[in-house]
């Protein structure tokens, strides 16, 4: 029945944001480079032995849920197949899983870092994830800025404050009498910790995305905040095969190794990483602070987490946490 107050809309005109399942915590058990794997099984055993006590602490920190419910916690591991491919999945993954098992740990989800750059290469659902996140960056202009700084989409550099003005020289050579100014962090408490993050190198058509930027995409994926034309991205593929392929591109970007695992995406993330990743993750936080995320994805998470008695922080970066164990 229609009338003067009836409004007709095309179904295709209504944007749909696919919903994804959520754990309470996504716990990353490590991120190693190919050269780490090249050191052999002993290196992997040392890694997981050092990680184990911190994993137990991270699990305990989730705390009890309302009505005595058990928290949903999934584990994941990111393998760098983007910057180098010194080995194959068939050679590398079984020793990795064995070393984790010897430490009493289970990897629920295994991810390839190259998937954070381009998801599903050669597939109809191919998604340029890093490129998409780049276009979602909204730079926070520092107080007193005059627009002199080129946009991040052109320079490939993102900062958390105001850079030293590049058009000025020393007071002796500057006819205007201007003097050198130090960089400053936006919202600094007392003193600045200024960070300038390189997002990629090389020409636009052959960009090599930085580790920091791909790690930012990785965090957004784990938090369930990325979509491609409304569809979820890097959805885990079940892996029931006994043998792993000889080529990385034959392995899905994210595979579910444990059929009984809690969901891959989560309300919050915790990453147990070697200390060498500390500057990288500082850069990740700078990026996450300046990413515009679809409002519908944020709304879904806010409503569902609140309904479970575990409301998430408003800031995306506040949903991430890290552990950098000594000697890892």
pLDDT above 90 (res 15): no
pLDDT for 192 equals 87
Give helix 211-222 / helix 278-288 axis angle, nearest 10°.
Answer: 60
Rounded CA separation 195/285 (Å): 10
The pLDDT tens digits of the residues spanning 32-54 come to 888 888 899 999 999 999 999 99
pLDDT for 57 equals 94
Banded pLDDT at 148 (limits 50, 70, 90) = low
The pLDDT tens digits of the residues spanning 164-198 come to 876 544 555 555 556 788 888 888 888 988 999 99
- Give the residue with greater pLDDT, 173 vs 24: 24
Q: Look up residue 181 and give its DSSP letter.
A: -
What percent of the chain lies above the pLDDT cut of 70?
87
How would you classify the pairing of strands 73-79 and 23-32? parallel
What percent of the chain lies above the pLDDT cut of 90?
63
pLDDT for 12 equals 47
CB 287 within 8 A of CB 216: yes
pLDDT for 4 equals 47
Helix ranges, the chain (H): 34-38, 41-61, 89-102, 129-134, 152-155, 211-222, 278-288, 295-307
pLDDT for 83 equals 92
What does the pLDDT average to over 11-16? 55
pLDDT for 99 equals 97
CB 81 within 8 A of CB 248: yes
The pLDDT tens digits of the residues spanning 54-82 come to 999 999 999 878 877 889 999 999 999 99
Banded pLDDT at 228 (limits 50, 70, 90) = confident
pTM of the model: 0.88
pLDDT for 16 equals 84
What does the pLDDT average to over 227-244? 89
Nearest to 63 by CA among 268, 292, 294: 268
Give helix 89-102 / helix 41-61 axis angle, nearest 10°.
Answer: 50
What does the pLDDT average to over 279-308? 95
Please list, in sequence order, all residues whose beta carbon lies within 8 angstroms of the beta carbon of residue 319, skipping any fewer than 6 positions away: 223, 267, 268, 269, 312, 313
pLDDT above 70 (res 3): no
Of 90-99, 217-226, 238-247, give the lowest mean pLDDT range: 238-247
Banded pLDDT at 10 (limits 50, 70, 90) = very low
The pLDDT tens digits of the residues spanning 96-143 come to 999 999 999 999 999 999 999 987 654 445 678 999 999 999 987 666
Strand ranges (DSSP E) for the chain?
A: 23-32, 73-79, 109-112, 157-159, 161-162, 184-185, 196-198, 200-201, 208-209, 227-228, 231-232, 237-238, 254-256, 266-272, 320-323
Of 26-35, 141-150, 303-312, give the lowest mean pLDDT range: 141-150
pLDDT for 179 equals 78
Rounded CA separation 50/33 (Å): 17
Q: What is the mean pLDDT of the chain?
A: 87
The pLDDT tens digits of the residues spanning 196-216 come to 999 999 988 889 999 999 999
pLDDT above 50 (res 8): no
């Amino acid at each position: 029945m229609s009338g003067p107050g009836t409004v007709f809309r095309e179904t295709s005109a209504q944007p749909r944001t696919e919903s994804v399942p959520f754990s309470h915590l996504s716990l990353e058990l490590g991120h190693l480079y190919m050269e780490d794997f090249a050191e052999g099984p002993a290196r992997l055993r040392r890694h997981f032995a050092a990680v184990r006590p911190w994993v137990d602490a991270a699990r305990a920190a989730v705390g009890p849920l309302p009505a005595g419910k058990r928290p949903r916690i999934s584990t994941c591991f990111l393998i760098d197949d983007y910057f180098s491919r010194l080995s194959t999945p068939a050679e590398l993954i079984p020793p990795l899983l064995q070393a984790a098992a010897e430490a009493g740990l289970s990897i629920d989800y295994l991810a390839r870092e190259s998937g954070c750059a381009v998801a599903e290469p050669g597939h109809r659902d191919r998604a340029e994830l890093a490129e998409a996140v780049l276009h979602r960056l909204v730079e926070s202009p520092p107080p007193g800025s005059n627009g002199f700084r080129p946009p991040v989409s052109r320079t490939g550099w993102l900062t958390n404050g105001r850079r030293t003005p590049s058009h000025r020289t020393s007071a002796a050579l500057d006819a205007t009498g201007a003097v050198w100014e130090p960089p400053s962090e936006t919202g600094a408490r007392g003193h600045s910790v200024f960070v300038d993050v390189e997002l990629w190198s090389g020409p636009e058509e052959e960009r090599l995305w930085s580790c920091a930027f791909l790690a930012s995409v990785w965090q957004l994926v784990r938090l369930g905040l990325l979509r491609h034309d409304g569809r979820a991205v890097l959805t885990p593929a079940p892996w029931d095969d006994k043998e792993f392929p000889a080529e990385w591109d034959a392995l899905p970007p994210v595979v579910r190794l444990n059929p009984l695992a809690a969901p891959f995406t989560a309300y919050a993330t915790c990453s147990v990483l070697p200390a060498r990743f500390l500057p990288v993750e500082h850069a990740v936080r700078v990026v996450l602070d300046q990413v515009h995320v679809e409002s519908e994805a944020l709304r879904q998470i806010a409503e569902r987490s609140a309904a479970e008695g575990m409301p998430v922080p408003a800031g995306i970066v506040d949903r991430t946490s890290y552990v950098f164990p000594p000697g890892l």
